[in-house]
Amino acid sequence: MGILVVGTVAFDSVKTPSGTRADVLGGTAVYFGVAASYFSDVSIVSVIGDDFPEEHIAFLQRKGIDTSGLERQKGNTFRWKGEYGSDLNTCTTLDTQLNVLADFSPKLLSTHRAQEYIFLGNIDPGLQRSVLEQVKQPKLVACDTMNYWINNSRASLLKTLAQIDLLIVNDAEARQLSDETNLVRAARRILALGPKRLVIKKGEHGALLFNSNSIFIAPAYPLEEVMDPTGAGDSFAGGLMGYLAASGALDDAALRKAVVFGSVMASFNVMDFGPRKLGDLTFPEIESRFREFYRLSFFEDIAAASAEAEDLL
């Protein structure tokens, strides 16, 4: 079962404590697509300018990604420039050039309309809904958003949230969307807006999965060095959706494993600038890191503890 991702393709210029890079291939569709490609068929729908080199398209195709939804327009590709603070938790946007993205209006090919796993990247909530109007019978619709839409297009965003299954945002976005500092209360408010599931990404502090009756807390991989956090959220979503599409399951056990596979892909992605490291993995490496996550968070059940406690009382 295939995945459809609608989102940006970009040239990113980033400065992090580890270095500076200009015009690196990036954007939601790229990071998500590459991460998901290890698990499932994935098609990307996006727009590029006439400055976008064939080698980048070839890179995506080598990862098995369907690029038939990559619309080439007259003008330049979307560009973003940002700088991360010394603790990598803050990022200042220095420049945004929408370019061909300004008039982006996703039109889905018939093959794409039949996809069952849909990821609506961080674009105008109205465009997100226009995608949903075109897909036939999705099994799972997941969605991202950001502070800009929460502030400036709240009404439209709420309409989108009412139509999706899974919202994936970071902790700051969850707090802003719910107007609630405490994340448990924030999650309850967000679930009341429509999504059946909510994932809150907390960067170096891991991720939380909420549904109406349970919470899952996934650890983050304890990296000694983060080269570049750009694309971490999108590669997280790609790993998550990729695993779900591959497994075909949507129960709580599958969702939990999907969140861990998302964390695995994000942990690889931040080890280098751009999607280079992410694109250069093998599935055994991904499985091996999944097992490391398991060992990182494993502790024995209460059964043993309970027997010992009996002795104490």
Comparing CB distances to a second copy, the nearer of 110 and 283 is 283
| Cβ contact 177:198 at 8 Å | no
Among 219, 271, 272, 276, binds a second copy (CB under 8 A): 219
Comparing CB distances to a second copy, the nearer of 256 and 277 is 256
**Binders in 163-192 for a second copy, by CB under 8 A:** 181-185
Rounded to whole angstroms, the Cα distance separating 187 from 207 reads 13
267 interacts with a second copy by CB under 8 A: no
- Look-up: residue for tokens 């709580």? 252
DSSP-assigned letter for residue 221: P
Any alpha helices (H) in the chain, and if so which ranges? Answer: 28-37, 54-62, 110-113, 125-134, 147-152, 154-161, 171-178, 183-191, 232-247, 252-269, 276-279, 283-297, 302-312
**Binders in 68-97 for a second copy, by CB under 8 A:** 86-87
Among 113, 189, 196, 202, binds a second copy (CB under 8 A): 202
Of the ranges 92-100, 104-112, 114-122, 257-265, which one interacts with a second copy (CB under 8 A)? 257-265
Positive/negative CA dihedral, 58, 59, 61, 62: positive
> What is the distance, to the nearest Å, from the Cα of residue 256 to the centroid of all Cα atoms in its chain?
15
294 interacts with a second copy by CB under 8 A: yes
Partner residues linked to 69 by β-bridges? 45
In whole angstroms, the minimum distance from the beta carbon of 118 to a second copy comes to: 20
62 interacts with a second copy by CB under 8 A: no
Q: Which of 236, 281, 288, 294 is nearest to 261 (CA)?
A: 236
In whole angstroms, the minimum distance from the beta carbon of 96 to a second copy comes to: 28
Comparing CB distances to a second copy, the nearer of 88 and 131 is 88
125-134: b or e for each residue (b if 16 or more CB lie within 10 Å)?
A: bebbbbbbeb
Any alpha helices (H) in 79-228, and if so which ranges? Answer: 110-113, 125-134, 147-152, 154-161, 171-178, 183-191
247 interacts with a second copy by CB under 8 A: yes
63 interacts with a second copy by CB under 8 A: no
Among 22, 214, 280, 285, binds a second copy (CB under 8 A): 214
313 interacts with a second copy by CB under 8 A: yes
- The footprint of a second copy (CB under 8 A) covers 39-40, 86-87, 181-185, 202, 204-206, 208, 214-220, 222-226, 243, 246-247, 253, 256-257, 259-261, 283, 287, 290-291, 294-302, 304-306, 308-309, 311-313
